[in-house]
Structure 1
Amino acid sequence: MNRSLLDLLRKGGYILYARHGEATVGIDQPNLNFWNCFTQRNLSELGRRQAVYYGQILRNLRIPISYPIIASPFCRTIETAQLAFGSANVQIDPFLFEIYRLDENLSSAEQKRILDSLDSRLEIKPPQGSNKIIIAHSFPKGISLGQIPNMGTVIVKPLGEGHGYEIIDKLSLSDLAKL
């Protein structure tokens, strides 16, 4: 993996949008309830290890992170963020549930509303000298940040509100470990 990407991340100014760890336990129920993990798919043991490893990699690489870590309201995303960065460092963003909904049969207007809202969030620069981390979901193929493997990370360079963003790289967990 290229050294210059690591140097850029150490300077800060990026959003690391990561998919949660492997979730194979249970299924998302039609009566999904964010307060009841039994109504959702949850992290497997591998997924828990991936989450811990993710946090260790970022600390070992000395990549500066701004807190709180932003997580989707699903148990699997919250647990991923807590295992990687500590329970006290996680903030839930209900909007990130909308990313999950992109897999549903939405109207083009509803899909556009969700993607426009996401885009406006990805334009916001993190605090000087740090990187923002979002733990959420993959996207359907060809939409927004695209398909993301378990604990994969999309490196996003926000260009400022109203100016868009650039996708710098997409890294699997093993790619990140090789930085």
Structure 2
Amino acid sequence: MEQSLLNSLRKGGYIFYARHGEATVGNDLPFLNFQDCFTQRNLSEKGRQQAISYGEVLRQLQIPIQAPVSASPFCRNIETAQMAFGKSSVQVNPFWFEVYRLSGNLLSDEQQRILTTFNSVMEIVPKKGKNKVIVAHTFPKGLGLGDIPYMGTVLIKPKGEGKGYDVIKRLSLGDLNKLGG
């Protein structure tokens, strides 16, 4: 099973939705400023090591990644993506902040709007022979992709715009390491 999954990933066509590496304890400040990392939780040393390892594992497994990698505007997400794939290979997408907002107190209409947009993004097939990587946030239990551990990845197979997507597998960083052998 694992070898056939790896072979499929090497052919491309998947979305790797990854949560950022381990962040420092605490909360993002109420006056959060994306340009000021001091107002946010940031990667711990373990989180930085996880990010580096993530990129190394995907390269060792020879999984082709579509550039740029998409990252949430939080410092912890940008740093995770840059440490894994290189600074020039990362593009910040403000939409991923919306996924973060799902953990707050939102009206159900707002929550549904975010999830509908998320679903439409997950339906977009990556460039031929490539896989798309998104470094963003976990979801509240029972919503979207559900709880994702630090540096965990949900493998998604998009079916095309308006056609939905399948969740293929949930992988921890350790699971990803085991794919190669």
Count of aligned pairs between the two proteins: 179
d(CA) in 1 for partners of 2:87, 2:160: 29
2:79 maps to 79
CA distance, structure 1, for counterparts of residue 168 and residue 26 of structure 2: 34
Match of 1:161 in 2: 161
Distance 1:69 1:139 in 2: 20
Uncovered stretches (5+) of structure 2, i.e. residues with no partner:
none
- Amino acid of the residue matched to residue 62 of structure 2? R
TM-score (norm 2): 0.97
Residue of structure 1 equivalent to 2:37: 37
- Match in the other structure for 2:110: 110
**Contact 1:78–1:92 (CA under 8 A) maintained in structure 2:** yes
Provide TM-score, normalisation by structure 1. 0.98
Partner SS state of residue 47, structure 2: helix
Tell me by how many angstroms 1:3 deviates. 1.2
- Cα deviations by residue, 1:51-101 (Å, 9 ceiling, x for unpaired): 000000000000000000000000000000000000000000000000000
Normalized per residue, the structure richer in strand is: 1
Give the corresponding residue for 1:18. 18
Structure 1 runs of 4+ with >6 Å offset: none
**Structure 1 position 4, deviation (Å):** 1.1
**Residues 26, 42 of structure 1: 8 Å contact kept:** no
Determine the structure 2 residue equivalent to 1:151. Answer: 151
Q: Aligned AA for 2:148? A: I
Deviations 1:115-136 (A, max 9, x none): 0000010000000001000000
Q: How far 1:27 moved relative to its partner?
A: 2.8
Aligned residues: CA RMSD = 0.9
> How far off is 1:105 after superposition?
1.1
Aligned to 1:46: 46
Secondary structure of 2:68's counterpart equals strand
Return 5+ residue gaps in structure 1 as ranges: none
Q: d(CA) in 2 for partners of 1:176 and 1:145?
A: 18
Q: Could you say which residue in structure 2 is the equivalent of 1:121?
A: 121
- How far did residue 26 of structure 1 move? 5.2
2:36 paired with 1:58? no
